[in-house]
Amino acid sequence: MTYRLDQLTQIYKHNSVFNAHHLDLGPSVRLNDYTARLEKASQDAFTSTTSGQLLQKLQPVVFSARAAIDLSSTTAWTPQQIPRKITTGAYDKSAMTSEFAGWKKQNPNWTIQRFDGKAMDIWLKANLGAPTDSGIDETVLLDIYNKLPRRTLKSDLFRYLMIFLKGGLYADPDTSSVLPIAEWGNHGTTKDKTDFKILQLAAEAQELSYRKSNQSTPTPINEAPPAVIVAMETVTTREDREGGHIAQYAFASTPGHPIFLDLLQNIVEFSRAMETIQSVGGSKFIHSNDIAFTWTGAEVWSSAVWRYLWARWGFDSRRLHGVNHPVRVGDVLILPSQAFRASSADPAQQESSEACVWHGFYQH
């Protein structure tokens, strides 16, 4: 399978993809380079700031992310189903809108978790730190979270860490569900764009793995429930940002997905660069909206999604420009931009059959 992926990613040209998406995916999207990046993340982002070791309680989720792209393993990776829980977070409780109740109405079997700033801090300290005789042994990411200069940055980092560690769906407090999550992409219009040869090789690996363990062969990965659900977003407020961004205000994933391990390592590296800039008097630069977009916002998030599709599935992300229907690539379901731009928070008043999420931002 690695040979086939190398064939598919040969067409990747850094400048060409940058011009198409206005996103920097890096000089290479080859699986070997992507694997090395995840290895680096496991030795950096989740390690103790004092011992430099990966915290023991974080090992399962970090190792799961690495196993997902380990094609040399004799045990085929099978993703978990997305946990039925919806998380939202806002430092200011007044940001919670009445429309958010639509998530529970449309998804009564899903639990809802609401976090304000204090609750985010407590949760992250509990999950990214380890108690010691002298206090809390912080991971690199917890240290970075505590030092982030803006609430927006902290909120972004919280949502990524919550979904990476626990899975489920994250949704901003000014959103609402207008279609049950179980029905997203299930109206018969989803098109599978996974490379056929990759699917064939993946199925063979699954069958061999399950035979060795005397288990029945699982459902092919592209036919099983998606491990990640995202939606395209066309940015209208900044013309130079258009081209292939992923909505950051609502997304879902299984825990321990490689997209997030890669994403979080990018945030670690960018945070260190910002510390250097701040140390030489660059505070004004650090507090600009553009930097937030690149630091923890839609730009770094979208880049991580596209990098995974290229590296793991050999999928040319430029093929999704202008799509108006759901697309499946391997374990990822990509919804069209209209899916997360419902015209009303009322499920009965939708202009598009693809509408899944209402977002208050687009109603202003």
**pLDDT band for position 2 (cuts 50, 70, 90):** confident
Q: What percent of the chain has pLDDT over 90?
A: 62
Q: pLDDT digits over 241-292, tens only?
A: 445 889 999 999 999 999 999 999 999 999 999 988 876 665 666 777 778 8
pLDDT of the residue at 296: 95
Most confident range (mean pLDDT) of 46-50, 212-216, 359-363 is 46-50
- H helices of the chain, in order, are 2-9, 14-21, 31-42, 59-67, 102-106, 117-128, 140-147, 151-166, 196-212, 258-279, 283-286, 289-295, 298-313
pLDDT of the residue at 280: 63
Is it the case that residue 357 has pLDDT exceeding 90?
Answer: yes
Is it the case that residue 168 has pLDDT exceeding 50?
Answer: yes
pLDDT of the residue at 239: 44
Cβ contact 355:184 at 8 Å: no
pLDDT of the residue at 243: 55
pLDDT of the residue at 21: 85
Distance CA 250, CA 262 (A): 19
The dihedral sign for the CA sequence 199, 320, 341, 254: positive
Query: Which has the higher per-residue pLDDT, 214 or 239?
Result: 214
Q: pLDDT digits over 52-62, tens only?
A: 899 889 999 99
Is it the case that residue 362 has pLDDT exceeding 60?
Answer: no
Cβ contact 333:226 at 8 Å: yes
pLDDT of the residue at 140: 95
Q: Phi and psi at residue 146, in whole multiples of 5°? A: -65, -25
Lowest mean pLDDT among 29-38, 79-88, 236-245: 236-245
pLDDT of the residue at 220: 79
Q: pLDDT digits over 340-355, tens only?
A: 988 888 888 887 778 9
Q: Which two tokens stand for residue 261?
A: 């391990």
**pLDDT band for position 217 (cuts 50, 70, 90):** low
Most confident range (mean pLDDT) of 145-154, 161-170, 191-200, 339-348 is 161-170
Is it the case that residue 22 has pLDDT exceeding 60?
Answer: yes
pLDDT of the residue at 125: 94
Q: What is the mean pLDDT of the chain?
A: 88
Residue 114: in which H helix or E strand, if any?
A: strand 111-115
pTM: 0.92
Question: Residue 280 to residues 255, 275, 362: CA-CA distances in angstroms?
Answer: 38, 9, 38
3 state SS of 321: coil
- Average pLDDT rounded to a whole number, residues 74-85: 80
Q: pLDDT digits over 286-318, tens only?
A: 777 778 889 999 999 999 999 999 999 999 999
Is it the case that residue 128 has pLDDT exceeding 70?
Answer: yes
**pLDDT band for position 108 (cuts 50, 70, 90):** very high
